[in-house]
Structure 1
Protein backbone atom coordinates (compact mmCIF):
# COMPACT_ATOMS: atom_id res chain seq x y z
CA UNK A 1 0.00 0.00 0.00
CA UNK A 2 1.31 3.44 -0.87
CA UNK A 3 1.78 5.85 1.96
CA UNK A 4 3.09 9.36 2.46
CA UNK A 5 6.39 8.13 3.93
CA UNK A 6 6.99 5.97 0.85
CA UNK A 7 6.32 8.96 -1.39
CA UNK A 8 8.83 11.06 0.52
CA UNK A 9 11.51 8.39 0.18
CA UNK A 10 11.16 8.35 -3.61
CA UNK A 11 10.92 12.15 -3.67
CA UNK A 12 14.49 12.30 -2.37
CA UNK A 13 15.58 10.91 -5.75
CA UNK A 14 13.86 13.74 -7.64
CA UNK A 15 16.19 16.38 -6.19
CA UNK A 16 19.48 15.04 -7.63
CA UNK A 17 17.75 14.19 -10.92
CA UNK A 18 16.36 17.72 -11.24
CA UNK A 19 19.66 19.35 -10.29
CA UNK A 20 21.61 17.15 -12.73
CA UNK A 21 19.22 18.01 -15.56
CA UNK A 22 19.55 21.73 -14.78
CA UNK A 23 23.36 21.47 -14.84
CA UNK A 24 23.35 19.51 -18.14
CA UNK A 25 21.01 22.06 -19.70
CA UNK A 26 23.27 24.94 -18.66
CA UNK A 27 26.40 23.14 -19.94
CA UNK A 28 24.80 22.78 -23.39
CA UNK A 29 25.06 26.57 -23.74
CA UNK A 30 28.86 26.28 -23.73
CA UNK A 31 29.90 23.87 -26.49
CA UNK A 32 33.64 23.30 -26.60
CA UNK A 33 33.66 24.72 -23.05
CA UNK A 34 33.65 28.19 -24.58
CA UNK A 35 31.44 31.24 -24.00
CA UNK A 36 31.91 32.60 -27.54
CA UNK A 37 29.36 30.29 -29.20
CA UNK A 38 26.70 31.30 -26.67
CA UNK A 39 27.47 35.00 -27.12
CA UNK A 40 27.29 34.64 -30.92
CA UNK A 41 24.02 32.68 -30.77
CA UNK A 42 25.56 29.62 -32.42
CA UNK A 43 23.28 27.17 -30.62
CA UNK A 44 20.51 24.83 -31.69
CA UNK A 45 16.86 25.53 -30.96
CA UNK A 46 16.86 22.56 -28.56
CA UNK A 47 19.64 24.11 -26.48
CA UNK A 48 17.81 27.47 -26.39
CA UNK A 49 14.58 25.73 -25.31
CA UNK A 50 16.43 24.64 -22.13
CA UNK A 51 14.45 21.42 -21.65
CA UNK A 52 16.57 20.23 -18.74
CA UNK A 53 16.42 23.58 -17.00
CA UNK A 54 12.65 24.01 -17.36
CA UNK A 55 11.92 20.34 -16.67
CA UNK A 56 14.23 20.32 -13.65
CA UNK A 57 12.70 23.41 -12.08
CA UNK A 58 9.14 22.20 -12.71
CA UNK A 59 9.89 18.80 -11.09
CA UNK A 60 11.31 20.50 -7.99
CA UNK A 61 7.84 21.92 -7.20
CA UNK A 62 6.08 18.58 -6.51
CA UNK A 63 9.23 17.16 -4.91
CA UNK A 64 9.30 20.02 -2.42
CA UNK A 65 5.55 19.82 -1.77
CA UNK A 66 5.53 16.06 -1.14
CA UNK A 67 8.51 16.33 1.20
CA UNK A 68 6.83 19.12 3.17
CA UNK A 69 3.61 17.10 3.32
CA UNK A 70 5.50 14.33 5.15
CA UNK A 71 4.70 16.13 8.42
CA UNK A 72 1.01 15.44 7.83
CA UNK A 73 -0.21 12.07 9.03
CA UNK A 74 -2.39 11.53 5.99
CA UNK A 75 -2.04 13.35 2.71
CA UNK A 76 -5.75 12.79 2.01
CA UNK A 77 -6.98 14.54 5.15
CA UNK A 78 -4.37 17.23 5.78
CA UNK A 79 -2.71 18.37 2.57
CA UNK A 80 -5.27 17.79 -0.13
CA UNK A 81 -4.89 14.97 -2.61
CA UNK A 82 -6.09 17.11 -5.51
CA UNK A 83 -3.23 19.57 -5.06
CA UNK A 84 -0.73 16.71 -4.74
CA UNK A 85 -1.98 15.06 -7.93
CA UNK A 86 -1.99 18.38 -9.82
CA UNK A 87 1.57 19.18 -8.75
CA UNK A 88 2.78 15.70 -9.66
CA UNK A 89 1.01 16.04 -13.02
CA UNK A 90 2.88 19.32 -13.49
CA UNK A 91 6.09 17.40 -12.75
CA UNK A 92 5.19 14.81 -15.40
CA UNK A 93 4.52 17.58 -17.95
CA UNK A 94 7.88 19.22 -17.14
CA UNK A 95 9.70 15.91 -17.43
CA UNK A 96 7.94 15.14 -20.73
CA UNK A 97 8.95 18.56 -22.07
CA UNK A 98 12.55 17.84 -21.11
CA UNK A 99 12.31 14.39 -22.72
CA UNK A 100 10.93 15.82 -25.99
CA UNK A 101 13.57 18.54 -26.23
CA UNK A 102 16.40 16.08 -25.44
CA UNK A 103 15.13 13.58 -28.01
CA UNK A 104 14.85 16.30 -30.63
CA UNK A 105 18.35 17.53 -29.73
CA UNK A 106 19.75 14.04 -30.23
CA UNK A 107 17.96 13.46 -33.53
CA UNK A 108 18.81 16.86 -35.04
CA UNK A 109 22.40 17.04 -33.85
CA UNK A 110 24.46 20.09 -32.88
CA UNK A 111 24.85 23.48 -34.50
CA UNK A 112 28.40 23.52 -35.81
CA UNK A 113 30.75 24.66 -38.54
CA UNK A 114 30.71 22.11 -41.30
CA UNK A 115 33.09 22.15 -44.23
CA UNK A 116 32.35 25.78 -45.18
CA UNK A 117 29.34 27.12 -43.27
CA UNK A 118 27.61 27.00 -39.91
CA UNK A 119 24.45 24.93 -39.55
CA UNK A 120 22.94 21.67 -38.36
CA UNK A 121 24.39 19.14 -40.80
CA UNK A 122 22.68 16.12 -39.22
CA UNK A 123 19.16 17.57 -39.14
CA UNK A 124 16.67 15.50 -41.12
CA UNK A 125 18.76 12.32 -40.95
CA UNK A 126 16.65 10.84 -38.17
CA UNK A 127 19.62 10.45 -35.85
CA UNK A 128 21.54 8.13 -38.19
CA UNK A 129 24.74 10.03 -37.33
CA UNK A 130 24.49 8.60 -33.78
CA UNK A 131 25.39 5.13 -35.07
CA UNK A 132 28.04 6.28 -37.55
CA UNK A 133 30.73 8.15 -35.67
CA UNK A 134 32.71 8.67 -38.86
CA UNK A 135 30.18 11.43 -39.69
CA UNK A 136 31.07 13.32 -36.53
CA UNK A 137 34.14 14.82 -38.22
CA UNK A 138 31.70 16.84 -40.37
CA UNK A 139 31.65 19.32 -37.46
CA UNK A 140 35.02 21.04 -37.23
CA UNK A 141 34.01 23.70 -34.72
CA UNK A 142 33.33 23.77 -31.75
CA UNK A 143 35.77 21.03 -30.91
CA UNK A 144 34.11 17.66 -30.12
CA UNK A 145 30.67 19.32 -30.22
CA UNK A 146 28.94 16.18 -31.48
CA UNK A 147 30.22 14.08 -28.59
CA UNK A 148 29.44 16.93 -26.19
CA UNK A 149 25.82 17.16 -27.37
CA UNK A 150 25.27 13.41 -27.57
CA UNK A 151 26.48 12.86 -24.00
CA UNK A 152 24.51 15.74 -22.45
CA UNK A 153 21.28 15.14 -24.39
CA UNK A 154 21.51 11.39 -23.60
CA UNK A 155 21.85 12.19 -19.89
CA UNK A 156 18.85 14.54 -20.14
CA UNK A 157 16.86 11.85 -21.93
CA UNK A 158 17.60 9.27 -19.23
CA UNK A 159 16.96 11.68 -16.37
CA UNK A 160 13.67 12.92 -17.80
CA UNK A 161 12.55 9.29 -18.25
CA UNK A 162 13.24 8.62 -14.57
CA UNK A 163 11.43 11.81 -13.56
CA UNK A 164 8.39 10.76 -15.58
CA UNK A 165 8.42 7.36 -13.84
CA UNK A 166 8.80 8.83 -10.34
CA UNK A 167 6.17 11.54 -10.77
CA UNK A 168 3.71 9.11 -12.40
CA UNK A 169 4.22 6.59 -9.62
CA UNK A 170 3.56 9.37 -7.10
CA UNK A 171 0.25 10.17 -8.82
CA UNK A 172 -0.76 6.50 -8.76
CA UNK A 173 0.31 6.19 -5.13
CA UNK A 174 -1.65 9.26 -4.04
CA UNK A 175 -4.76 8.11 -5.88
CA UNK A 176 -4.52 4.58 -4.45
CA UNK A 177 -3.94 5.95 -0.94
CA UNK A 178 -6.89 8.29 -1.17
CA UNK A 179 -9.33 6.02 -2.97
CA UNK A 180 -8.66 2.81 -1.07
CA UNK A 181 -9.68 3.01 2.55
CA UNK A 182 -7.88 0.63 4.91
CA UNK A 183 -10.03 -2.23 6.30
CA UNK A 184 -10.24 -0.63 9.76
CA UNK A 185 -11.77 2.51 8.22
CA UNK A 186 -14.37 0.37 6.43
CA UNK A 187 -15.31 -1.43 9.66
CA UNK A 188 -15.60 1.91 11.48
CA UNK A 189 -17.73 3.34 8.66
CA UNK A 190 -20.11 0.32 8.78
CA UNK A 191 -20.38 0.53 12.56
CA UNK A 192 -21.26 4.24 12.40
CA UNK A 193 -23.97 3.75 9.77
CA UNK A 194 -27.54 3.08 11.10
Structure 2
Protein backbone atom coordinates (compact mmCIF):
# COMPACT_ATOMS: atom_id res chain seq x y z
CA UNK A 1 0.00 0.00 0.00
CA UNK A 2 1.43 3.34 -1.01
CA UNK A 3 -0.71 5.54 1.30
CA UNK A 4 -1.12 3.72 4.65
CA UNK A 5 -4.44 3.77 6.52
CA UNK A 6 -3.14 2.28 9.77
CA UNK A 7 -3.10 5.75 11.34
CA UNK A 8 -6.85 6.00 10.76
CA UNK A 9 -7.48 2.67 12.46
CA UNK A 10 -5.52 3.79 15.52
CA UNK A 11 -7.54 6.99 15.60
CA UNK A 12 -10.70 4.87 15.46
CA UNK A 13 -9.62 2.78 18.43
CA UNK A 14 -8.70 5.91 20.41
CA UNK A 15 -12.09 7.39 19.53
CA UNK A 16 -13.84 4.22 20.70
CA UNK A 17 -12.15 4.47 24.10
CA UNK A 18 -13.09 8.15 24.39
CA UNK A 19 -16.70 7.43 23.37
CA UNK A 20 -17.04 4.69 26.00
CA UNK A 21 -15.65 7.06 28.64
CA UNK A 22 -18.19 9.72 27.59
CA UNK A 23 -21.05 7.24 27.90
CA UNK A 24 -19.90 6.11 31.35
CA UNK A 25 -19.40 9.69 32.57
CA UNK A 26 -22.86 10.73 31.35
CA UNK A 27 -24.42 7.71 33.07
CA UNK A 28 -22.72 8.70 36.33
CA UNK A 29 -24.29 12.17 36.03
CA UNK A 30 -27.71 10.50 36.08
CA UNK A 31 -27.03 8.90 39.46
CA UNK A 32 -25.54 11.48 41.85
CA UNK A 33 -23.36 9.73 44.40
CA UNK A 34 -24.73 6.42 43.08
CA UNK A 35 -28.32 7.11 44.23
CA UNK A 36 -31.30 6.40 41.97
CA UNK A 37 -33.83 8.45 43.96
CA UNK A 38 -32.92 11.76 42.29
CA UNK A 39 -33.56 10.48 38.79
CA UNK A 40 -36.90 9.05 39.94
CA UNK A 41 -37.90 12.38 41.48
CA UNK A 42 -36.68 14.40 38.46
CA UNK A 43 -34.17 16.31 40.58
CA UNK A 44 -31.31 16.32 38.05
CA UNK A 45 -30.01 19.41 36.28
CA UNK A 46 -31.96 20.11 33.09
CA UNK A 47 -28.93 19.90 30.78
CA UNK A 48 -28.18 16.36 31.95
CA UNK A 49 -31.34 15.24 30.11
CA UNK A 50 -29.90 16.36 26.74
CA UNK A 51 -27.38 13.50 27.01
CA UNK A 52 -24.35 15.36 25.68
CA UNK A 53 -21.96 12.60 26.71
CA UNK A 54 -24.25 9.65 26.01
CA UNK A 55 -25.56 10.87 22.65
CA UNK A 56 -23.07 13.34 21.17
CA UNK A 57 -19.80 12.17 22.68
CA UNK A 58 -20.85 8.53 22.90
CA UNK A 59 -23.34 6.91 20.54
CA UNK A 60 -22.93 9.40 17.68
CA UNK A 61 -19.17 8.88 17.89
CA UNK A 62 -19.65 5.20 17.02
CA UNK A 63 -20.30 6.23 13.39
CA UNK A 64 -16.76 7.53 12.80
CA UNK A 65 -15.36 4.72 14.98
CA UNK A 66 -16.94 2.09 12.71
CA UNK A 67 -15.69 3.83 9.56
CA UNK A 68 -12.17 4.46 10.87
CA UNK A 69 -11.62 0.94 12.20
CA UNK A 70 -12.97 -0.80 9.09
CA UNK A 71 -10.96 1.40 6.71
CA UNK A 72 -8.55 -0.28 4.35
CA UNK A 73 -10.11 -3.74 4.17
CA UNK A 74 -10.13 -3.39 0.39
CA UNK A 75 -6.73 -3.50 -1.32
CA UNK A 76 -7.93 -1.61 -4.40
CA UNK A 77 -6.20 1.75 -4.62
CA UNK A 78 -9.12 3.70 -6.08
CA UNK A 79 -11.61 2.19 -3.62
CA UNK A 80 -9.29 3.12 -0.78
CA UNK A 81 -9.30 6.71 -2.02
CA UNK A 82 -13.10 6.71 -1.87
CA UNK A 83 -12.96 5.16 1.59
CA UNK A 84 -10.70 7.97 2.79
CA UNK A 85 -13.30 10.45 1.49
CA UNK A 86 -15.89 8.50 3.49
CA UNK A 87 -13.70 8.65 6.56
CA UNK A 88 -13.47 12.44 6.17
CA UNK A 89 -17.28 12.62 6.09
CA UNK A 90 -17.47 10.37 9.15
CA UNK A 91 -14.99 12.69 10.87
CA UNK A 92 -17.41 15.58 10.26
CA UNK A 93 -20.11 13.55 12.08
CA UNK A 94 -17.63 13.06 14.92
CA UNK A 95 -16.85 16.79 15.01
CA UNK A 96 -20.57 17.51 15.34
CA UNK A 97 -20.98 14.95 18.14
CA UNK A 98 -17.99 16.17 20.13
CA UNK A 99 -19.12 19.79 19.70
CA UNK A 100 -22.58 18.89 20.98
CA UNK A 101 -21.05 17.19 24.01
CA UNK A 102 -18.74 20.15 24.67
CA UNK A 103 -21.45 22.81 24.41
CA UNK A 104 -23.94 20.95 26.60
CA UNK A 105 -21.30 20.15 29.22
CA UNK A 106 -20.25 23.81 29.28
CA UNK A 107 -23.84 25.02 29.64
CA UNK A 108 -24.50 22.49 32.42
CA UNK A 109 -21.35 23.64 34.19
CA UNK A 110 -22.45 27.28 33.97
CA UNK A 111 -25.96 26.46 35.22
CA UNK A 112 -24.78 24.35 38.13
CA UNK A 113 -26.67 21.48 39.71
CA UNK A 114 -30.24 21.39 40.91
CA UNK A 115 -30.12 20.80 44.65
CA UNK A 116 -32.08 21.18 47.86
CA UNK A 117 -31.23 24.42 49.66
CA UNK A 118 -32.86 26.37 52.50
CA UNK A 119 -35.24 27.71 49.80
CA UNK A 120 -36.19 24.23 48.56
CA UNK A 121 -35.20 22.55 45.28
CA UNK A 122 -33.58 25.12 43.04
CA UNK A 123 -30.58 26.04 40.87
CA UNK A 124 -28.65 28.21 43.34
CA UNK A 125 -25.80 29.00 40.93
CA UNK A 126 -27.79 29.50 37.71
CA UNK A 127 -27.46 33.31 37.57
CA UNK A 128 -23.81 33.54 38.60
CA UNK A 129 -22.25 32.94 35.17
CA UNK A 130 -20.03 30.19 36.55
CA UNK A 131 -18.51 32.25 39.38
CA UNK A 132 -19.41 29.48 41.82
CA UNK A 133 -16.70 27.33 40.24
CA UNK A 134 -14.08 29.58 41.83
CA UNK A 135 -15.92 29.90 45.16
CA UNK A 136 -15.88 26.42 46.69
CA UNK A 137 -17.08 27.79 50.01
CA UNK A 138 -20.46 28.59 48.40
CA UNK A 139 -21.02 24.94 47.47
CA UNK A 140 -22.26 24.14 50.97
CA UNK A 141 -25.54 25.88 50.10
CA UNK A 142 -26.54 22.56 48.48
CA UNK A 143 -27.80 20.32 51.27
CA UNK A 144 -29.06 17.43 49.12
CA UNK A 145 -27.67 15.45 47.31
CA UNK A 146 -24.57 15.53 49.46
CA UNK A 147 -21.50 16.72 47.50
CA UNK A 148 -23.60 17.24 44.35
CA UNK A 149 -21.57 20.28 43.27
CA UNK A 150 -18.29 18.39 43.43
CA UNK A 151 -19.92 15.44 41.64
CA UNK A 152 -21.27 17.57 38.79
CA UNK A 153 -18.20 19.77 38.40
CA UNK A 154 -15.85 16.78 38.26
CA UNK A 155 -17.93 14.78 35.77
CA UNK A 156 -18.73 17.77 33.55
CA UNK A 157 -15.05 18.75 33.43
CA UNK A 158 -14.24 15.17 32.43
CA UNK A 159 -16.87 15.38 29.67
CA UNK A 160 -15.44 18.69 28.47
CA UNK A 161 -11.95 17.18 28.29
CA UNK A 162 -13.17 14.05 26.49
CA UNK A 163 -15.10 16.18 23.99
CA UNK A 164 -11.97 18.22 23.24
CA UNK A 165 -9.93 15.04 22.70
CA UNK A 166 -12.65 13.59 20.43
CA UNK A 167 -12.72 16.84 18.46
CA UNK A 168 -8.94 16.70 17.99
CA UNK A 169 -9.04 13.04 16.87
CA UNK A 170 -11.82 13.75 14.35
CA UNK A 171 -10.05 16.88 13.11
CA UNK A 172 -6.86 14.86 12.58
CA UNK A 173 -8.80 12.28 10.59
CA UNK A 174 -10.59 14.94 8.57
CA UNK A 175 -7.20 16.28 7.49
CA UNK A 176 -5.77 12.78 7.00
CA UNK A 177 -8.79 11.66 4.99
CA UNK A 178 -8.80 14.67 2.70
CA UNK A 179 -5.03 14.54 2.09
CA UNK A 180 -5.11 10.80 1.37
CA UNK A 181 -8.20 11.07 -0.82
CA UNK A 182 -6.27 13.52 -2.99
CA UNK A 183 -2.92 11.74 -2.59
CA UNK A 184 -4.18 8.25 -3.34
CA UNK A 185 -4.83 8.70 -7.06
CA UNK A 186 -1.40 10.36 -7.38
CA UNK A 187 0.18 7.42 -5.57
CA UNK A 188 -1.66 5.05 -7.87
CA UNK A 189 -0.28 6.82 -10.96
CA UNK A 190 3.25 6.76 -9.54
CA UNK A 191 2.96 3.07 -8.73
CA UNK A 192 1.58 2.35 -12.20
CA UNK A 193 4.40 4.27 -13.92
CA UNK A 194 7.05 2.49 -11.81
CA UNK A 195 5.61 -0.92 -12.72
CA UNK A 196 5.34 -0.07 -16.43
Q: Could you state the TM-score of these two structures normalised by the residue count of structure 2?
A: 0.88
RMSD after superposition: 2.2
- Return the offset for 1:114: 1.4
User: Residue 114 of structure 1 aligns with which residue?
Assistant: 117
Name the CA distance, whole Å, in 2 between partners of 1:93 and 1:131: 30
Flag structure 1 segments of 5+ consecutive residues without an equivalent: none
User: Residue 53 of structure 2 aligns with which residue?
Assistant: 52
1:159-194 per-residue CA deviation (whole Å, 9 max, x = no partner) reads 000001101110110000111357654557889xxx
Query: CA 1:141–1:188 in 2, change beyond 3 Å: closer, same or farther?
Result: closer
- Return the offset for 1:82: 3.8
Q: Tell me if the contact between 1:2 and 1:176 (Cα under 8 Å) persists in the aligned partners.
A: no
Aligned with 1:80: secondary structure? helix
- Correspondence 1:70 to 2:72: yes
Name the CA distance, whole Å, in 2 between partners of 1:167 and 1:9: 12
User: Residue 142 of structure 2 aligns with which residue?
Assistant: 139
Q: Tell me if the contact between 1:2 and 1:173 (Cα under 8 Å) persists in the aligned partners.
A: no
- Return the offset for 1:88: 1.4
Name the CA distance, whole Å, in 2 between partners of 1:164 and 1:76: 28
Q: Could you state the TM-score of these two structures normalised by the residue count of structure 1?
A: 0.89
Aligned with 1:70: secondary structure? coil
Query: CA 1:74–1:84 in 2, change beyond 3 Å: closer, same or farther?
Result: farther
Name the CA distance, whole Å, in 2 between partners of 1:75 and 1:26: 42
Name the CA distance, whole Å, in 1 between partners of 2:110 and 2:187: 54
Q: Count residues with an aligned counterpart.
A: 191
Give 1:1-194 correspondences, 5 Å limit.
3-55=4-56, 56-73=58-75, 77-78=79-80, 80-181=83-184, 185-187=188-190
Query: CA 1:2–1:139 in 2, change beyond 3 Å: closer, same or farther?
Result: farther
Flag structure 2 segments of 5+ consecutive residues without an equivalent: none
Name the CA distance, whole Å, in 1 between partners of 2:173 and 2:51: 25
Query: CA 1:96–1:74 in 2, change beyond 3 Å: closer, same or farther?
Result: farther
